[in-house]
Amino acid sequence: MDAMPDFDQLQLRFVDHIQWRYELIRPVVLLENCTAAQRAEETHTHPETVRHLARRFRQQGTLGLLPEHTEIITPSRGKPVPDAVVEELARLKTLYTGFGYRELARILLHKTHYRIDDKTVKRLWGHSPIPVQGALPFGAYHRHADRYQARLQVVKLSYQGWHKRSISHFMQVSRPTVDLWIRRFEAEHFVGLEAKSRAPHTTPRKVWLPLMIEISHLPKRHPDAGEFRIWSLLANDTSAVRTVGRVMALNKQVYDDIPHVPNTQAKQPPGPHPYKATSAHQYWFIDGRMMDFALDGVTWWSIILLDGSSRTLVAGAMAPSEASWAALLVLSTACLRYGAPHLLISDSGGAYISKEFEAVCTRLEIDHQTISSTQGESYMNLMETHFNIQRRLYDYQFSLSTTPAELEQAHQAFIRLYNTTAHQGLLKEGFDPPIPVHVLGQAKGTMDTPDELTRKFSRALLPRTTNQHGCVTLHSYHLYVEEGLPKTQILLWVYGEQLRAVFDNVVLAEYHCRYDWQDRHVKEVRDGVFYATQFASLQGSLLPLNAQESLVLYRPKSRRRQAQLPFPAQQLWLFELMHTA
């Protein structure tokens, strides 16, 4: 049998193309009984094909007979990847090519319940065939007919392990929108995926006419108050400080009766304060401010005591002068309410460096430190800056007072208003609410009993109780104070040659006196001056005298037993009326 029929018979039994190639080159490379040209003529093939296959067989062996585009993959260790995982990976590659490998591993675990490493996913993803885009089960969100199903598909993809970034790119919606749908589904379940109206439930305007009218009245009563103080007085949590400022600027353009205050220059940022309090009643600050107006020709002073930690005004009083007796009156009221502080800061005024004031601070064990305003140390006293709040907030109300009693009432009203409204410094320090009385709470300083406190103020303070006619007894004198305060304890302050009767921070009467330091008695009480206060009795005076011109003195009887007189004697007056005018 010749070679040609032999090759033709073998070709009919070939099941693989590799077998045909091997049989084609076998006589050339194995038997070597013919040349490439002779074998090509016997098999009706091209001589170059025989030479090329023979050359590849000599170089690579049997692998040289494989097709040239075939890639040889070295088998890896471990179990082979299931076909279902490979098919799902190919499906995902057809859908979207921007997956992360760890994201794909998570998706495959959810879909096929097969745990696979991200490195294996990376190798399989690179060896997967090139994706051919076909008909997808879902597409972009805006091309979907049913938006509810599109939102549901977003939620399904999220629970299947898709990243929000991949969902955003695939569905062609923004990342915040994907977050919103997922939050709505977690909060409201399937109801949250339904379409909702974008119309606001309430009016979005922050500034409307009732608010503008309400804000327009406050600057008329407090023309120098700024936007923060007006916002604090407004007590409206729905409006911000900047909103109130914009309304105030608009109201000044609309209403002509609102005072226009010129803008001040920008202030430099403050440095660290040398007396920064870390606890309540650690530092107290006291100072006096001369008012910008006169009452009956007298310019009154506002003396206030401030707690440095909570910015609470612990006490305050109005006085015709910044004297020691007025400062001691304020200090006594504060110590009676809150106890004594650790340290007291004041300026170098005569009222605070006097011997009487220093002696009281020593007995109360208060470290009293003074600052020098002439050397640029005014900023150390917090009351210097807080008086600006008083000026802007309440000077207009003070100017409406016509009597000392009304002035004192307005002063106490300012203290209550200041202590119960928000403070900007407390707001910056993170207090919630930033209200002084809430920040101070029930904190107390060094507390003393009322009797012990009276003893420590004894050289300047003399407590007395009035009788049914409003009179008190001081040593050998019976003084008229106020008929409208019967059976009431008042304070008698002795300072220099002045004696003042005070009740609830209000001066009721003043006398000229002389204090004898040897026997510690008040002598030569005369020239009484009485003020019209809110405690005045609505009934007429019981004693037929003019309190502005007269003084009732008490003359104690001698303890010696008087001898029997042979004839009846005329009874003497218990009270003697003396005219001092």
DSSP 295: B
Q: Long-range pairs for 128-137 at CB < 8 Å and ≥24 separation?
A: 128/86, 128/89, 128/90, 128/93, 129/90, 131/90, 131/93, 131/94, 131/97, 132/94, 133/94, 134/94, 136/95
The pLDDT of residue 566? 53
Residue with tokens 């199903």: 149
Q: How many Å apart are CA 110 and CA 100, to the nearest integer?
A: 15
Which amino acid does the sequence have at 558? S
What residues contact residue 509 under an 8 Å CB cut-off, 6+ apart? 479, 480, 481, 482, 500, 501, 528, 529, 530, 531
More confident residue, 221 or 262: 221
pLDDT band at 63 (very low <50, low <70, confident <90, very high): confident
What is the average per-residue pLDDT within 268-280?
78
Beta strands in 392-482 (DSSP E): 461-465, 471-474, 477-480
Q: Beta 506-516 vs 498-503: how paired, if at all?
A: antiparallel
Position 9 scores a pLDDT of: 65
Is the pLDDT confidence value at 330 over 70? yes
Q: Band of the pLDDT at 202, cuts 50, 70, 90?
A: low
Question: Are the CB atoms for 47 and 37 separated by under 8 Å?
Answer: yes
Write out pLDDT tens, residues 444-462: 888 888 778 877 776 556 7
d(CA 120, CA 80): 11
Contacts of residue 143, defined as CB under 8 A and 6 or more positions apart, other chains included, come to none
| Residue 169: alpha-carbon gap to chain centroid | 40
Residue in the block written with tokens 């002795």: 494
- Comparing C-alpha atoms, which of 315, 317, 318, 375 is closest to residue 344? 315
Question: In this structure, which amino acid lies at residue 321?
Answer: S
Q: What are phi and psi of 456, to 5 degrees?
A: -70, -25
pLDDT tens-digit readout, 545-558: 444 444 555 555 55
Read off the pLDDT band of 343 (50, 70, 90). very high
Are residues 10 and 23 in contact, defined by beta-carbon separation less than 8 angstroms? Answer: yes
Quick check: 136 pLDDT over 50? no
Cβ–Cβ under 8 Å, residues 534 and 503: no
Instruction: State whether residue 578 is helix, strand or coil.
Output: strand
- Once rounded to an integer, what is the mean pLDDT over residues 100-106? 87
CA distance 274 to 290: 26
Q: What three-state secondary structure class fits 347? A: strand
- What are the residues whose beta carbons fall under 8 Å from the beta carbon of 288, sequence distance 6 or more? 301, 302, 303, 304, 319, 322, 326, 327, 349, 351
pLDDT of residue 230: 87
Query: Could you tell me the pLDDT band of residue 312, with boundaries at 50, 70 and 90?
Result: very high
Mean pLDDT, rounded, of the chain:
78
Q: Which whole number is the average pLDDT over 471-498?
A: 81
CB atoms within 10 A of CB 17: 11
Q: For residue range 211-246, what is the model confidence (pLDDT) as tens digits?
A: 888 888 888 888 888 888 888 888 887 788 888 888
Please, which residues bridge with residue 121 across strands? none
Judge whether residue 368 has pLDDT over 60. Answer: yes
Q: Which two tokens stand for residue 407?
A: 């002035």
Which tokens hold the place of 490? 């008042």
* pLDDT tens figures, 378-408: 888 888 888 888 888 888 888 888 888 888 8
Nearest to 462 by CA among 409, 405, 525: 525
pLDDT-derived band at 540, boundaries 50, 70, 90: low
Q: Are 162 and 107 in contact (CB under 8 A)?
A: yes
The SS3 call for residue 226 is coil
* pLDDT of 421 over the 60 cut: yes
Q: Which two tokens stand for residue 579?
A: 């005219």
For residue 285, what pLDDT band results from cuts at 50, 70 and 90? Answer: very high
pLDDT band at 433 (very low <50, low <70, confident <90, very high): confident
d(Cα 528, Cα 547) in Å, to the nearest integer? Answer: 8
- Would you place residue 580 in the very low, low, confident or very high pLDDT band (cuts 50, 70, 90)? very low
Residue range 403-429: mean pLDDT, rounded: 88
Q: Tell me, yes or no, if the pTM score tops 0.75.
A: no
Question: Taking residues 319-336, what's their average pLDDT?
Answer: 85
Q: For 431, phi and psi rounded to 5 degrees?
A: -80, 140
State how far the Cα of 51 lies from the Cα of 243, in Å rounded to an integer.
Answer: 92
Q: Using pLDDT thresholds of 50, 70 and 90, give the confidence band for residue 315.
A: very high
Which residue's structure tokens are 């009487």?
356
pLDDT value at residue 262: 58
Q: How far apart are CA 38 and CA 15, in angstroms?
A: 25
Distance between terminal CA atoms of the chain? 169
Q: What pLDDT is attached to residue 129?
A: 64
Helix, strand counts (H, E) of the chain = 20, 14
Quick one: average pLDDT of 245-253? 84
Residue 231: closest CA among 441, 413, 427? 427
Structure confidence at residue 1 (pLDDT): 42
DSSP string, 522-568: EEEEEEEEE---TT--SSPPSSSS-TTTEEEEE-PPPSSPPPPPSSP
Instruction: Count Cβ atoms within 10 A of the Cβ of residue 70 and give its class: 0-12 exposed, 13-18 middle, 19 or more buried.
Output: exposed
Q: Please name the residues in contact with 349: beta carbons below 8 A apart, sequence gap of 6 or more.
A: 288, 322
What percentage of the chain's residues is helix, strand, coil (to nearest 5)? 45, 15, 40
Phi and psi at 532, nearest 5°, equal -80, 115
Percent of all residues in the chain with a pLDDT value above 70, rounded to a whole number: 79
Q: Which helix (H) or strand (E) holds 5?
A: helix 3-13
Average pLDDT over residues 48-68: 83
Are the C-beta atoms of 479 and 501 separated by less than 8 Å? yes
